[in-house]
Amino acid sequence: MKEEQLAEELICLEDMAKIYDTGALKVLGLKRVNLTIRRGEFVAIMGQSGSGKSTLMNILGCLDRPSLGHYYLDGVDVAGMSSDELSLIRNKKIGFVFQSFNLISRMSALKNVELPMTYARISRKAREERAEELLKRVGLGKRIHHQPNELSGGQRQRVAIARALANNPPLLLADEPTGNLDTAASLEIMELFTKLHAEGTTVVLVTHEEEIAAYTRRIIRFRDGEIISDQPNEPHRPGIAAQVEKNTDFMEGEG
């Protein structure tokens, strides 16, 4: 029963708190958060700036360590890990998608996508093949050799998503992924997340926009470092996306 539960749970925060020590005073970033996210979920974490959602994002992404409590990712407590161990976790288990895309500007789309695999010590040939395949999957098969500055915002974010998927991580973590995009491109990106979710990827999205959160299946709201609500959400979005969702609904069972 316990093991089954572990297998089900991708993220488990137990009494996790984050305290920032600024020298003069200690600021409580997060207060005793308890949260479980299962595999295959599509979750939005919402809140105003200062609500603690960025802190949570950093901890979930293993960029930062909790001050107190435990964080089990894929069954492993990462709370006490060294920074190199965390690097390894980020490399294998987490795919990041940032608001400002964060592509390396002097590298082609292909090279950017290859990067996480380079750090995973995957051979050049295998890397290139997989990067190309991923770029095709996000609809950029014809632009693999373009530099980031030759791509539109939406295209850049798709490269970033392809890069996040490179090592096939169990968790896709997106921080305001549409924050720098126009409406059309935002729609495009959210459709892509929906598709990835439908294919079984766990997606955790940090946003302050209701329209973006509306795409997800579960919305967790933060205020002053605490969860104030955690509710399932019935995704409502226009066009083809709804059909994709409908087609995959019965496969996943309850969402």
- Compare residues 72 and 98 and give the one whose CB is closer to another protein: 98
- Closest CB 49 distance from another protein, rounded Å: 14
- Closest CB 89 distance from another protein, rounded Å: 8
User: Which amino acid is it at 82?
Assistant: S
What does the binding site for another protein look like in residue numbers (CB under 8 A)?
58, 61, 63-64, 83-84, 87-88, 90-92, 96, 98, 102-104, 106-107, 115-116, 118-121, 124, 163, 167
Are 220 and 45 contacting, i.e. CB atoms less than 8 angstroms apart? yes
Are 183 and 153 contacting, i.e. CB atoms less than 8 angstroms apart? no
- Compare residues 103 and 241 and give the one whose CB is closer to another protein: 103
Give the whole-angstrom CA distance, residue 128 versus residue 235.
36
Which among 205, 196, 193 is positioned nearest to 168, based on CA atoms? 196
- Compare residues 163 and 218 and give the one whose CB is closer to another protein: 163
Could you tell me the two tokens for 82? Answer: 């060294």
User: Which amino acid is it at 47?
Assistant: G
- Compare residues 149 and 231 and give the one whose CB is closer to another protein: 149
Give the whole-angstrom CA distance, residue 146 versus residue 149.
8
Element at 241 (helix H, strand E): helix 240-252
- Closest CB 111 distance from another protein, rounded Å: 9
- Closest CB 165 distance from another protein, rounded Å: 12
- Compare residues 120 and 240 and give the one whose CB is closer to another protein: 120
How many CA atoms does the CB half-sphere of 70 hold within 13 Å?
10
Sheet holding 76-77, edge to edge: 26-38, 9-21, 68-73, 76-77
- Compare residues 111 and 197 and give the one whose CB is closer to another protein: 111
- Closest CB 92 distance from another protein, rounded Å: 7
- Closest CB 208 distance from another protein, rounded Å: 18
- Closest CB 254 distance from another protein, rounded Å: 33
Q: Residue 145: exposed, middle, or buried by beta-carbon count in 10 A (0-12, 13-18, 19+)?
A: exposed
Which among 239, 240, 232, 237 is positioned nearest to 37, based on CA atoms? 232
- Compare residues 101 and 215 and give the one whose CB is closer to another protein: 101
